[in-house]
Structure 1
């Protein structure tokens, strides 16, 4: 199963997490934007690992925001912040993009589950908009991502440089996989720009991924690609591969009466509806 964008800064979303029932035989993919603060991230890891057999997490941009912590300590920044979150996840037995890719042995398997951390490089922008004009262009429709103020790329010179480093390292890991095995690719940001459907914020796209991954679902034999970030739950198909956007979202974006469990998306095996 999979879910993303829990945004546990909201008390309503934390209450929904607390009420989540157990799924003792299932694995859970958590595709980023769990929380900004470490205590809320720890709450999610503790809760999920008590309810699922295995938990797999990738960071979203909100995890990477340099915001004050509950204890008042100065916030960690950039790659140091991410590495501290990886350490926190590992302390709960949660798998991260820095760990060996596990093999799902259950229904729909065997299948390599590949959590990725790739960021974005502003290439999901109209071809007529130069990189240096992106922020001004997005500002015209109040669509500038808060990452511009809160997501520090240190020690990299820019978010693009951090993205390029992550792409190179991740690509080599995926190329080393057994070519006979299919994969489930997990990234907070969508791997293709034609999967972005955000009519209320059409100029937000530069903060949504990189064109470098446009064909990764084909190159790396993906059976399913899991992402979040957009807060638009939907299923798409490209080249016989299923793409699942699995966001929960802010409190106004989901039905509290249904509970969080109803927003878990089945990843493997393929659900009964739709192509196989």
Structure 2
């Protein structure tokens, strides 16, 4: 089978919704949706109903935009928008309605281009640790604000029932690391998938470097070596790239906002072939 990936479809934008029609069928391939499909259940259904017939299977991991508690913007009349962890699990339930693989499912062993690989979709969040050592945790958000950087997560991304996003991140990292360690097939290469980059050096947008606060956690800096990754897939930064670190390929597979892709590349070209 073949494996493709794309992140940050941002279907809240009409231009991005229209772009779904331009993605060509690859019925012998799986497609990873590496977070930020959109903000509402309607956006997710649109993605699944548009893309599932074109691929053998879809895989989804959440980004920060799915986790936003957007209230009146939800396409669920009369139903309060779920928040925090409940929101994440509501999206997992929706994925299961469509047969979409999530971080809560077993990690499948695949034959990718004739080679075995373990696909590991993850939901790890961030904990504000991508910051200089002289900046204290309590001062981190103000440090970012002093350079004009603000993330809407501070308003929209609820963390209930956890005390903070950092606590939620810690729980997700601990649980996921234990699950991977329990696989017991260390010789099989892994394809690690997370919306946020796993390493701080990959989380520095040149124009807004202090946005790194909302881009991951130092707890995952060694996961590509620790868990025998052949490829690490992420999005979030809207900076598509391929980099090799310690012999492991890191693929940033963002599609992005209309102004970032229109006139520059065709929507179908945003899908990255993942090779092991």
Q: Where on the TM-score scale, by shorter chain, does this alignment land: which range?
A: over 0.9
**In 2: Cα distance, 1:196 partner to 1:163 partner:** 17
Q: Which residue of 2 aligns with 1:35?
A: 38
Match of 1:48 in 2: 51
Over aligned residue pairs, what C-alpha RMSD do you find? 1.2
Instruction: Report the counterpart of residue 109 of structure 2 in structure 1.
Output: 103
What whole-Å deviation, never above 9, does each CA across 1:49-103 have from its counterpart, x for those lacking one? 1111111110000000000312343211000000000000111110000000111
For 1:18 and 1:202, how far apart are their aligned partners in 2?
34
Q: Which residue pairs with 1:140 in the alignment?
A: 146
1:166 to 164, 172, 186: 172
**Aligned counterpart, 1:274:** none
Q: What does residue 272 of structure 1 align with?
A: none
Structure 1 residue ranges (4+ consecutive) displaced by more than 4 angstroms after TM superposition:
none
Gaps of 5+ in 1: 270-276
Q: Quote the Cα distance in structure 1 between the aligned partners of 2:130 and 2:264.
A: 36
* CA deviation string 1:124-173 (max 9, x = no partner): 01111111111111111221211111000000000011011101110011
Q: In the aligned structure 2, how far is the partner of 1:248 from the partner of 1:215?
A: 26
CA drift of 1:197 comes to 3.6
SS in 2 for 1:79: helix
Within 1, Cα distance between the matches of 2:258 and 2:83? 27
**Aligned pairs for 1:211-226 within 5 A:** 211-226=218-233
Structure 2 residue runs without a partner (length 5+): none
Identify the residue that residue 15 of structure 1 maps to in structure 2: 18
User: Is the contact between residue 204 and residue 211 of structure 2 (CA under 8 Å) also seen in structure 1?
Assistant: no
Q: Is the 8 A contact 1:233 1:244 kept in 2?
A: yes
Deviation of 1:48 after TM superposition, in Å, equals 1.7
C-alpha distance in structure 2 between counterparts of 1:229 and 1:43, whole Å: 20
| CA distance in 2 between partners of 1:237 and 1:258 (Å) | 24
Q: Which of 121, 125, 136 is residue 130 of structure 1 equivalent to?
A: 136
User: Is 1:227 the counterpart of 2:256 in the alignment?
Assistant: no
Cα shift readout 1:231-276 (whole Å, capped 9, x = no counterpart):
001111111000000000000011357432111111124xxxxxxx
Partner of 1:244: 251
Q: Counterpart in 2 of 1:273?
A: none
| 8 Å contact from structure 1 (residues 197, 232) kept in 2 | no
Cα separation, partners in 2 of 1:164 and 1:50, compared to 1, 3 Å: same
TM-score of the pair, normalised by structure 1: 0.95
CA distance in 2 between counterparts of 1:28 and 1:42 reads 15
